[in-house]
Structure 1
Amino acid sequence: MTDKSKIFVYPKDVSAFGFDWGKLALTVAPEMNGATRFSGGVVDLPSGKGHTRHNHPGAEEIIFVISGHGEQMVEDEKGIPMVEKVGPGCTIYVPESRFHSTLNTGDGPMQLFVVYSPAGPELVLRELPDFRLIPAGQ
């Protein structure tokens, strides 16, 4: 029988990856609920914070803005940064291995839902110097 707690997942019910720039609560991942082709979760960015330019070698990413406003950068195929103001309802597609960054430019928090395909790029975040594991419910 399938465990419903692994099918219907709230970010508050899972541990989160904490960083100086915000946090990521993985709600879909092989280790979380057996997802095999992708992983994803909710990112919370405080006002003025964001993740710096980085890429996910061999993986694509989808970023969906749930709330808040910011600037999203995605480099084109020549490495030239494309920057757009983004807000609720915007979907950003980050092609495989492309560098990108997100900055919360609003007065309040910014919340995103991110999806990685294939699963795995998010696990590298554990190696960052400012990584900390935030227990569920905190």
Structure 2
Amino acid sequence: MAKDAYFIYPKDVSAFGFDWGKLSLTVAPEVNCANRFSGGVVDLPSGKGHARHNHPGAEEIIFVISGEGEQMVEDENGNPITTKVGPGCTVYVPESRFHSTKNTGAEPMQLFVVYSPAGPELALRELPDFRLLPPGS
């Protein structure tokens, strides 16, 4: 594998753009041949967030890099658990559980997300507000 496949910056890959923000996949089969997980950087502008959704058959880790917001994860009975999150917080989303994130702060919120196994992020291409942004956008 080429050296540049090991060291990826979000600005160097195309991003998934949405009305609520963007996802820059920095680890994925199509980026660097990762096959057991995928992940990348999510940027949420102030007041924006992604709606309640799930990833059937996949777990997710969300790490808050910067900003603050509200994170919802459903428990095993389908009850929503919502809490405030900020830099340094790691959120675990069990397999197939519904969850949502909203930036409630005045500054942009940045997250690093990991999906296991790789692949559920590709379903985001089917959303009506999806657009593929060129590297550096």
Query: Partner of 2:90 in structure 1?
Result: 91
What SS does structure 1 have at the residue aligned with 2:122? helix
Q: Distance in 2 between matches of 1:72 and 1:5?
A: 33
Distance 1:137 1:85 in 2: 30
Unaligned runs of 5+ in 1: none
Match of 2:34 in 1: 35
| Residue of structure 1 in register with 2:5 after alignment | 6
Code of the residue aligned with 2:123 in structure 1: it is V
Measured in 2, the distance between the counterparts of 1:84 and 1:6 equals: 36
Partner-residue secondary structure (3-state), 1:31: helix
CA RMSD of aligned residues (A): 0.4
Q: Does 1:114 align with 2:119?
A: no
State the partner residue of 1:44: 43
Amino acid at match of 1:13: D
Q: Give the C-alpha shift of residue 5 in structure 1.
A: 1.1
Whole-angstrom distance in 2 between the partners of 1:70 and 1:137: 25
Q: Distance in 2 between matches of 1:137 and 1:121?
A: 24
How many pairs were matched up?
137
Give the structure-2-normalised TM-score.
Answer: 0.99
Deviation of the 1:36 alpha carbon: 1.0
Map residues 42-81 of structure 1 onto 2, 5 A cutoff. Answer: 42-81=41-80
Per-residue CA deviation, residues 54-107 of structure 1 (Å, 9 max, x unaligned), is: 000000000000000000000000000000100000000000000000000000
Unaligned 5+ runs, structure 2:
none
- Report the alpha carbon displacement of residue 42 of structure 1 after superposing the two structures with TM: 0.1
Q: Secondary structure at the match of 2:31?
A: helix
